[in-house]
Amino acid sequence: MSLLSNAAVLLGKELRTEFRSRELLTTTVVFILMVVVLFSFTFDTSSAESKRFAPGLLWLAFLFAASLMLQPCFLREQNNDTLSALRLSVSDPFAIFLAKLAANTLFLLLTELLMLPVFSILFNVPAGPVVAPLILVFFLGSLGISVAGTALSAISAQARMRELMLPILLLPLLTPVLIASAEATAALLDPAHAFRKDWVGFLAIFDVVFLTAMWLFGEYLLEE
């Protein structure tokens, strides 16, 4: 069975279990909502300076939420040692990563799209005219977070102090994604609605590099 068909079967399992329990989506949406609301109380959202900070704050909220969301990604597979069953069943272990990566990106993107109108209202930033390029930036940023986060989740699941390990490893690694996503989002939400190809290109390159690394070394991350 091919890599892609194995990954599709596993993605189906990830989606079914999440949409059945809604554990990750609910927790992440509530977390981001709280952070965005608290930020809106902390800053004067009517000032121009605050609007400059807002995209960075939004991506910080996404990043913290992602570190919560990615934590159980491989940890859940340890309950009944289901990761071993998956490793015995797939022809290429990259299929396991691919399915988890796709699921994490989808969940994160869904959460971000749900939060966009709330952010837009609370920070008085009209996002309507730039929704399409904004979705592209959200997708590339989420993919970057998920690709690094999924790999680190596999590592941290086998480590001691695993709950602390993932954010400690993930947040510094994702600083470039945070900067690029925040800059690209800020430019789009600016009254000039500029599409910054340089930052968007940087995000795409980050995603490709990390995806390739995961494809090359993923198998070793799953070993005992």
Partner 1 sequence: MIEPASAPGIRFDKIDKRYGGLYALRRVSLEIAKGECVALVGRNGSGKTTLLRITARLARPTSGTLAFVGGIPGHDSQLAPVGFVAHATMVYDELTAEENLLLFGRLLGVPEVSTRVAELLREIGLYDRRTSMLRTFSRGMRQKVAVARALLHRPAVLLLDEPATGLDSVSVQWLARTLKQLRDSGCTILISLHGESEISALATRAVRLDSGAVVADSATGGSAAAILNSSVSG
Report residue 135 CA to chain centroid gap.
13
Contact 100, 14 (CB under 8 A): yes
How near is the Cβ of 157 to partner 1 at its closest, in Å? 15
Q: What is the DSSP string of 156-197?
A: HTTSTTHHHHHHHHHHHHTHHHHHHHHHHHHHHHSTT----H
How near is the Cβ of 84 to partner 1 at its closest, in Å? 5
User: Given the complex with partner 1, which of 13 and 52 has the nearer CB atom?
Assistant: 13
Query: Which residues lie near partner 1 (CB under 8 A)?
Result: 1, 6, 9-10, 13, 16-17, 20-21, 79-82, 84-90, 223-224
User: Given the complex with partner 1, which of 49 and 224 has the nearer CB atom?
Assistant: 224
- Tokens in use for 110? 């869904």
Rg (the chain; Cα; Å):
18
SS3 93: coil
Return d(Cα 49, Cα 53) in angstroms, integer. 7
How near is the Cβ of 24 to partner 1 at its closest, in Å? 12
User: Given the complex with partner 1, which of 104 and 142 has the nearer CB atom?
Assistant: 104
How near is the Cβ of 102 to partner 1 at its closest, in Å? 16
User: Given the complex with partner 1, which of 42 and 91 has the nearer CB atom?
Assistant: 91
